[in-house]
A = this chain, B = another copy of it.
């Protein structure tokens, strides 16, 4: 049978595989040296106790006929959607209906699957550097940089790689703030420019705010819906992965407001919410009841305090990294409202040269920025997802290196 030939257009990504292989080789050759891994963006702290209690309770529910939960609603349980609407939105002045929230098994799935509701001929814009899923999920639909289906949005290196509103019309724009990989956060004015652009061009913004929990500065937005009119142009994707350590538990959500409409080939206007609901009810069967009960506990007084303590811990780490490398004279962004610190390699080193230098001389592994796109060349990403002790040690080793 004929297969989807668009898969041939995908570039094989060996980024994390190559990082892992080089770290492994180094460790084998230097068994006495302990490498501090600051490459992969995965949480390291265990699940907070309040969430553990909720998971225990949910397991118990499953063991008794009277409290057993079989198939749940594809869109997620109301007990969770109502908490989300109240705590993540109403508390920040954003009014949403619980039926505009779609609970899922993770932000990556939602971001990837959203292409299912796009028209075939849309042109999508992605920043550079970028989270590869935005690009690859579109390539699978036949859109590439080469055929013009994917356009790179200019990112201003001098202005923290912030994406610059383009002159041309783009149908779908992917924005990630706080950004992976650069750690940059768009402020309200910058977001407003994008909302205005999308309104003018009838574009859709896919706003990935998987890292919103790391925003410390109270003047910075956590949701695109804090910008007036954004409900008419934006889908927002969020995750409990980084917020509450759910990378292994799997739970996230996507907001598709009723105001958000698009056009069918016959010219008729349709709510994107209805399309996404149909997509999810057809091709998804709800997130695990356990994960949803765990996610609900994120909003309890005890749970939210514990979650905040974990975020504070990571942010202290990323902040130490940022300040440490800056004190060494390196140019770094992020780390203050994001777990990621994005560092420009000195002396014109490439990303991989910097990677090898840090591994060999500091026993420190990073992610080469070039793995996120051509505009990431010459940079590396470090993460706050490690212990406080290792983070301090990493900064000390960097200082000894005298870059």
- A residues contacting B by CB (< 8 A) are 1-5, 7-8, 10, 40, 42-47, 49, 52, 55-56, 59, 62-65, 68-72, 105-106, 108-109, 112-113, 116-122, 132-133, 136-137, 140, 171-172, 202-204, 245, 247-250, 262-266, 270, 272, 275, 278-279, 282-291
Residues of B within 8 A of A64 (CB): 46
Q: How far is the CA of A40 from the CA of B72 in the complex (A)?
A: 12
Residues of B within 8 A of A275 (CB): 3-4, 7
- In this complex, what residue of B is CB-closest to A105? B105
List the 9 shortest-distance A-B pairs measured between CB atoms, nearest first: A2-B119, A112-B283, A5-B265, A42-B70, A3-B262, A248-B289, A69-B248, A70-B247, A1-B171
Say whether B282 contacts A248, CB under 8 Å: no
Q: List 26 A-B contacts (CB under 8 A).
A: A1-B122, A1-B204, A2-B118, A2-B120, A2-B121, A2-B262, A3-B117, A3-B119, A3-B272, A4-B116, A5-B119, A8-B264, A10-B278, A42-B70, A44-B65, A46-B68, A55-B62, A55-B290, A56-B59, A68-B245, A70-B248, A71-B247, A109-B283, A109-B285, A288-B288, A290-B290
Say whether B278 contacts A7, CB under 8 Å: yes
Q: Assuming A266-B5, A272-B3, is B250 touching A287 (CB within 8 A)?
A: yes
B5, B63, B113: the one contacting A283 at CB < 8 Å is B113
How many copies altogether?
A: 2
Residues of B within 8 A of A245 (CB): 68, 70
Residues of B within 8 A of A5 (CB): 119, 264-266
Residue of A3, A55, A105, A120 most packed against chain B (CB within 10 A): A3
Q: How far is the CA of A285 from the CA of B131 in the complex (A)?
A: 14
Say whether B250 contacts A286, CB under 8 Å: yes
Say whether A119 contacts B1, CB under 8 Å: yes
Residues of B within 8 A of A248 (CB): 62, 68-72, 286, 288-289
B52, B171, B272: the one contacting A62 at CB < 8 Å is B52
Task: State the Cβ distance, A386 to closest chain B Cβ, in Å.
Answer: 12
Q: Assuming A7-B117, A10-B278, A44-B70, is B2 touching A265 (CB within 8 A)?
A: yes
Q: Assuming A204-B1, A265-B2, is B285 touching A288 (CB within 8 A)?
A: no
Q: How far is the CA of A287 from the CA of B63 in the complex (A)?
A: 21
Kindly list 19 other residue pairs between chains A and B, CB separation below 8 angstroms, not including A1-B119, A62-B248, A290-B291. A1-B203, A1-B262, A2-B118, A2-B263, A3-B262, A3-B263, A3-B264, A3-B270, A4-B116, A7-B279, A40-B71, A47-B63, A55-B290, A70-B245, A108-B285, A113-B283, A133-B282, A137-B282, A249-B288
Task: State the Cβ distance, A113 to closest chain B Cβ, in Å.
Answer: 6
Task: State the Cβ distance, A271 to closest chain B Cβ, in Å.
Answer: 10
Q: Assuming A2-B119, A2-B122, A5-B265, is B45 touching A283 (CB within 8 A)?
A: no
- In this complex, what residue of B is CB-closest to A118? B4
Task: State the Cβ distance, A265 to closest chain B Cβ, in Å.
Answer: 4
Say whether B62 contacts A47, CB under 8 Å: yes
Q: How far is the CA of A72 from the CA of B249 in the complex (A)?
A: 10
Residues of B within 8 A of A7 (CB): 117, 264, 270, 275, 278-279
Task: State the Cβ distance, A380 to closest chain B Cβ, in Å.
Answer: 20
